[in-house]
Amino acid sequence: MMPWNRLIVFLTILLISFSMSTAFAAEIQELKLEKIYKNELVDKIANLIDSNYVFPALGNKMAAEIKNKLGNGYYSSIKDPTEFAKTLTADLRSVCDDKHLWVEYKLEWLLEEIKISQSSGEEKKKLEEAWIEEARKTNFGFKQIDILEGNIGYLQITDFGNNSYATRIVTAAMNFLANSDAVIIDLRKNGGGYGYTVAFLASYFFDKSAGSVHLEDIYTRPGNDTESLWTLNVPGESLHEKELYILTSDRTFSAAESFAYMMKNLKRAVIIGESTKGGAHPTNDYLLMDDFTLTIPVSRSISPITKTDWEGVGVQPDIKTSQEEALATAHILALETLKKSGKGDLTNYDELIKKLKEDHK
């Protein structure tokens, strides 16, 4: 049996050896990030942005910016992958402040989306089923529906989901709101989603018998093509005769801004609230190496009315108010408009308007 004093010495040596090996492993990991990750990552990002960013000249400038900083040793002290991703994003945006452009490390939902897009067969089916199950828990972004006092329909959307489940929910929501006298759509907490669902929802607010309405064009640099979005022949009830009010905030972004922008410029809705965030460029996602990802704006929206978009400036409200007051403002305006038009139940509008104004002094 080993004496106690020799055992203690042995354990001490073992502990020191373990500590040294752990430190050595950490040092190797840092060197790996330094010599492999940084050079290769910056090169991949620069090439992808230069080849795919929607505006070629800006793509070239962003690529040159991060290459120059790498060559000048600007990134040499960064050891943490998350910090490196954030720094690269900031440097790219210093050239072009595009809010759809970012580098991420271990962004789980994005990694999952990329994994689904790159899979096939049974694996793709299982991944999509798991994604749909998660989306179902938030009702695919359609969070709340109600009939407010005075028969004003209300629908809160926090995300424009991208599948047949979302469009079925849109149809159900429109059928529910069909008997209201006006409709409020709340996008104050909506961070975006998919263009098809936007067009699907917009289609309910135009007269199908009058023909398709040109909503928006999408130009995409890879492929150098332009896709036109028009209203669709949607099922269920039409709401084309309802006054429409859209609520916005400084968090309203991307596809949600698209809906507000097109409906405003087509004179189909009154926008109430705050200027939106200002992101008009659809994206492609790229898996770089390990768990680093790059999101590049490869497309841009073009209004058939304004011939431009809301990138960098946001969608400007017709009635500017705080996001906290936007719903009450829309509710009051809807009732006042109905009263002037002679539609709806005229017996209690004055009382309701007075009550709402008193509650929000």
Closest of 139, 179, 146 to residue 160, by C-alpha: 139
Per the domain annotation, does 78 fall within a domain? Answer: no
Cβ contacts of 150 within 8 Å, gap of 6 or more? 181, 331, 334, 335, 338, 344, 345, 348, 349, 352
- How many domains does the structure of the chain reveal? 1
Q: Give φ, ψ of 289 to 5 degrees.
A: -155, 135
pTM: 0.86
User: Which CATH number belongs to the domain containing residue 266 in this structure?
Assistant: 3.90.226.10
Among candidate residues 230, 238, 86, 79, the one with its CA nearest the CA of residue 170: 238
Query: pLDDT tens per residue, the chain (361 residues)?
Result: 445 444 444 445 445 444 444 444 444 344 355 656 789 999 999 999 999 999 999 999 999 999 999 999 999 889 888 999 999 999 999 999 999 999 999 877 777 777 777 777 877 777 778 778 888 888 989 999 999 999 999 999 999 988 778 999 999 999 999 999 999 999 999 999 999 999 999 999 999 999 999 999 999 999 999 999 999 999 999 999 999 999 999 999 999 999 999 999 999 999 999 999 999 999 999 988 878 999 999 999 999 999 999 999 999 999 999 999 999 999 999 999 998 887 766 667 888 888 888 887 7
Q: Is residue 277 part of a domain?
A: yes
Residues shown for the chain: 361
Q: Residue 242: which domain range?
A: 129-282+296-326
Q: Is residue 340 part of a domain?
A: no
Please indicate, yes or no, if residue 83 is contained in any of the structural domains. no
